[in-house]
Structure 1
């Protein structure tokens, strides 16, 4: 199937061609026609499956094909709630790319920065609002945002929303939405709490499920290095001696850990930056911009900060620390090997992390191959 077969309007088809999009991913093939039929949708899809385009493209088409009457152009027609600033910005970039030839206006709001540029954009009028929960409720309470005429509502990364403690904020927003609306709900996992939340939002939804969270893409070559905790820095520097590694995304479990790794890398002359919740919004955005431009070779990230990082042609993900939640491993390595490209995922495992590694093996139903030929093997 090609995008041309999805019966998209010319302005969107043109933008997709300019972006180099030809073949929709499985979730896009399934979700776009259902959303265009105005169905509610329950989508189970992990990161890297093309989920953002799966809802952004049909939303742009629906809003373009059903223009608002004169005099109502300042109302918000679509709200997309997402848990992190990085993911909100990525979604905003997608609307900019796919909607560049439409007249649909969007803006992105999130905390951690001054609100005036955001409220100025809202006062000029937007059709699509992409928002994180805290800033959204703040601006609603200040009277800058009204959702009573909303036509479309999207809850993205619902499982992460619950993990980060935003469920009460989501429920507050739901009370402000019109009952008659089209709702789209996306989550990488479907534990009971997520199913309950979905049931409260959706009305007779169509269901789409692709690449369950327990699987890793076949395009990603996975390797584990057994190493003493004290040798992890040296092992990382050893791996980065390979100049064929243009960029690498390195994961740590904590913000402090990310900063320590950056300090070691910089001392060794490796251009690197950290991205985590303690960094200012401008610092995080600059770090991501530099990484995408390959002026920064290594980006060291915590899991929450990394959600929404979408870097074309990222070849290497390195788990400096094994995650204690096995599903997180799948999400981490899903940053590489995207859209059919090949990727490499390297994991450093010390003795205390062996239990975490066993949990990952159980989840993905296979053992990750061990690399024994390295200077710090134990």
Structure 2
């Protein structure tokens, strides 16, 4: 051994990472893959251009997958192809979406065997590591009255029985919520306030997050939220007066009206088993507080994921997660994920300490203080 070599004699050199190309993915997907490879797979693979690749990654759920598979086999006949899909294929090199570290690590080990590369103990450790236990939630058996008014008391729907999911949905357009959201959208589009009239009188709904004067107590408004209102019972028109100088901010009104209407459900058309996104977190300081909201946001914010999976991951009743989604959607901050990159990489598996770190970071960003919410 060289006199200047201080590497322990019993430590084998680390094998080179597997070079992977994803020629038909966009730049955003490439960025997410690079971060996933670096963190989730401990840099045991790297993203490269196709001519240098030792494996080709193809998303079967986007574009013409059959043509891309054919083209890849013609252009790189000796390069293994890793197939990504939400549905299982018969290929040995298949990885289910959204990507998880263990599934991708297994594919890396298969690539190394096919190419007769040396074993990679780090990839093997990722592959065999037990999944992190779900972050435990301390949920009271009976929630207090104020909480139940915001998230309802609905029981969970069975994740494996889509036929039973109907009770998790409701139609906002049939209630005050839908009319209020239309008034807000019209005000934003026209750049001027809209008068929303009905049995409650007339509210002047401003563009942006201006003030709405609501001359009724919360108890009466809460009751109104669950009463069906047809289009013939509500009138929208351009307002001939300015918005009120004092009252309730529009976002705060939409937030609580959505919660009181939904009672722990989500709008019709919301997929329960497909990823949904959170664009950014609203101003919690100005909105009705929701139980476990920070824990939900901490895991959801940068990782679009299915609502059922999010609730299961956190060990929370589904109604808590559904309520947060519905309130955020009412403000235009949440919705079904449409971009390829949004469903490519799954959320990380978090230990309680990891969740606490995420909550602390989010609390600091929102100015809520270091003890805004516990991780358990």
TM band (smaller chain): under 0.3
TM-score, normalising length: structure 2: 0.27
TM-score, normalising length: structure 1: 0.27
Larger Rg over CA atoms:
2
